[in-house]
Chains A and B, each alone.
Chain A
Amino acid sequence: MKQKKLHTILAFAHNQPGVLYKLLSLIRKKRYNVETITVGHTHVEGISRMTISFSHGEGNKIEQIVQQIAKITEIPKTDDVTYENAINRELILLKVKATPQDRVHVTATTQIFGGKVIYVASGHMIVEITGKQENIDSAITMFEEFGIIGVARTGATVMYREEEDMGLDRIVLPGSRVVSLKNKR
């Protein structure tokens, strides 16, 4: 399974209906294909973190797409993190064929990747691994020798190593939320 070179964008968004639609509409308009997308709440109420990776285009266009995403009203901050030294992790659930004789080998392989076995049945096992996308890709290759019967990948989520600019100065959250934000800082 050959992985395409992906471009990854990190965006912080006001958690409102339709924001994701706007973002994806823009990526669609530019005729890129979204490969993975993860969205979840952050520690600031009302602000979500979105990590989107899509198939690589020319550098110039990526710069432009980031600029256009930055114009979406509800997205106060966005960055191209493809070449950033940020932490990039993905979680995978792998359903692997495993005869009773194979179980020990599957378990050992899982441990190499720092993962764990979370389910065992008579003919297969489910293992959970997190890691960089490259590690996940090589894990898949390793497990192929047992026979893979199911893959569930979450797609990458990215976090900067140091303090992150979430663009909070560019957005006014309703009153009560601003107070709770101050308390957390």
Chain B
Amino acid sequence: MARRKKTIKGAELFCRSLVEEGVTYLFGYTGGAIMPVYDAFPKFPQLKHIMVRHEQAAAFAAQGMARATGKPGVCIATSGPGATNLMTGIADAHMDSIPIVAITGQVATSVIGTDAFQESDIIGMLVPVTKQSYILDDPYEIPRVVKEAFYLANTGRKGPVNIDLPKDISIAVIPDEGFDATIRYPVLPPPGIGKDQLARAEKLMASAERPIVFVGHGVIQSGAQSEVRRFLEKSNMPFSCTLHGISALPGDHPQYLGMMGMHGTVEANRAIENADLIIALGMRFDDRVTGKLDEYAKDADVIHVEHDPSEINKNVRATVAIYSDLKPAVVEMTKVVKPKPYKEWYAFAAKNRKYWEGIDPVNQRNGRGDKRNLLMGTVLKKLTELTDGKDNVVADVGQHQMFAARYYQFNRYNTWFNSGGLGSMGFSVPAAMGVKYARPKERVWVIVGDGSFQMNIQELGTIMEQNIDIKILLLNNNFLGMVRQWQDLFHGSRFIGTPVKNPDFIALASAYGIAGERVDEGKALEPALRRAMKHKGAYLVEVVTDMDEMILPMIPAGSRFSDMRVTR
């Protein structure tokens, strides 16, 4: 009798393919349709599964991992509600171009389309928010699909990919041979910078008197920070970061004007308003960056370097459109750019900085608000001082996010993590778990408001179970502060749906075995932060902040830069 061929189960083949892609951590939650995959985990000790308390957190944790490592993060959930719960995190990854691979269980192929128990058409739902979605209807396709999923997630413009795995495919037993793992959709590199484009860029750069360089998320994603820094330091041009460009270059760099856009610094926004040349590197001119498009940087020529052609000329028309990877384009531009002092231009920026420092609320009344409560800006400045600007900071969404972007000085590369495009509240705590797994030896701070904290607060359970050492800095103003600010400015101070009656957060953390303390007055802040830093394990510092505080300056949505509000 012939020897029996070696066989393998679909779920095991799937896990083996994940191992081949270098997957270590999976964040997920089990359930009926995905159980066979979980059942295979013990055979693959390289795969470490972290059980979260809600699938949305799994997607955010995978994002944290991806943002910190630059490699795809992985989340896994069952069919139906498990899969739909992942969606917010996947949509968020799509907006911010974060590579994650989302694995969802699916009901057996024989019952797909019959409204079976816990069936949802997850591919149909995820198409607009994924780079690619697969339904595995043939176990022989598993190695190819897994390989291609990781390849597509992390190639070109990064983004989320979904693999839907029906239960009958994961329990199928097939001969362990004859797999074709050829990638079907190779991603071609962009054409790069052409001679003509370079000549035109050179001419614009040579004649510019008021240039500004934009550092976008692409600089971090392509790892082009050294090349960009060389370009900046040779050209001596000032630069500004988008929200996601922050931490690409050190925050104390002398040419840095700060963040741009809606809540950008006065010096950056005034410079953009008056610039005669914008050099945009790896960014997409989001509406929070541009304000009113017709009036945006009217006197400026724009050199736009982007590797996604659909982002060029989308919002802002480029004088010179360079469809290229960032590194080679910036290297070429560095060769032809001539240094200039830009004396008047820097003096203009310095004047604006001085103006803002004179009216910045954190520089007044010892950084306290009207009711003597601490200001968020003051707290973040103190955190910078104590950590030297070198810790990982994961922010949630709201006022505290903007304060973290503006008042924490990021002095170390790629240490700033937040949900920019989609603006998903509940991002920070689970994303910080992912960042901590990626950087176990580094300190990770969560900056979160009382509203956002409660959107994924169940993850305190995961933190407890896994002993995840993250420091949670809760800025509590008992309000949904960002919306309150808009209500204050644009809706006649009618605070509808924004006051929050909060639980005792310290007691809540304590119930999860997490140490913490509440800071009611300014003096207590520094010792509390120091205790948090010293403490082994997770720690919650709740700071009561001023509810009237606004994040300023602010360019109201759809307004011109000249409409920037600098005071309340």
Interface residues in chain A, defined as those with a beta carbon under 8 Å from any beta carbon in chain B: 14, 18, 21-22, 25-26, 29, 60, 63-64, 67-68, 70-71, 73-74, 76, 170-175
Contact = CB atoms under 8 A, between A and B. Distances in A.
A114 B128 CA distance: 44
A35 B546 CA distance: 55
Contact of A171 (B157, B184, B313): B184
Interface string B453-478: 00000000000000000000000000
A173 B184 contact: yes
B185 interface: yes
18 contacts: A14-B184, A18-B123, A21-B127, A25-B127, A26-B128, A29-B128, A64-B313, A67-B310, A68-B310, A70-B309, A70-B310, A71-B310, A73-B152, A76-B185, A171-B185, A172-B182, A172-B184, A172-B186
A64 B152 CA distance: 21
B319 interface: no
Given A60-B313, A63-B313, A22 B185 contact: no
B206 interface: no
Nearest to A26: B128
B180 A174 contact: yes
Contacts of A174: 180, 184
A25 B128 contact: yes
Contact of B314 (A14, A64, A74): A64
Interface of B: 123-124, 127-128, 131-133, 152, 157, 180, 182-186, 188, 308-310, 312-314
A40 B166 CA distance: 30
Given A22-B127, A64-B310, A67-B312, 20 more contacts: A14-B184, A18-B123, A29-B128, A60-B313, A63-B313, A64-B313, A64-B314, A67-B309, A67-B310, A68-B310, A71-B308, A71-B310, A73-B152, A74-B185, A76-B185, A172-B182, A172-B183, A172-B186, A174-B184, A175-B182
A73 B128 CA distance: 13
B127 A172 contact: no
A42 to B, nearest CB: 17
A74 B132 CA distance: 9
Nearest to A175: B180
A74 B186 CA distance: 11
User: Does more than half of chain A's interface fall in helix, strand or loop, or is it mixed?
Assistant: helix
A119 B184 CA distance: 47
A22 B180 CA distance: 26
A49 to B, nearest CB: 19
B313 A21 contact: no
Give the interface centre of B152, B157, B188 by most chain A CB atoms within 10 Å.
Answer: B188
B412 to A, nearest CB: 33
B186 A170 contact: yes
A124 to B, nearest CB: 41
A70 B312 CA distance: 14
Interchain residue pairs A-B with the least CB separation, the first 9: A67-B310, A68-B310, A73-B185, A172-B184, A73-B132, A67-B309, A64-B314, A25-B127, A22-B127
B169 to A, nearest CB: 15
Contacts of A76: 185
A175 B124 CA distance: 29
A33 B131 CA distance: 23
Nearest to A61: B314
A74 B182 CA distance: 15
Contacts of B157: 71
Nearest to B184: A172
A28 to B, nearest CB: 9
Contacts of A25: 127-128
A62 B237 CA distance: 35
Nearest to A170: B188
Contacts of B152: 73
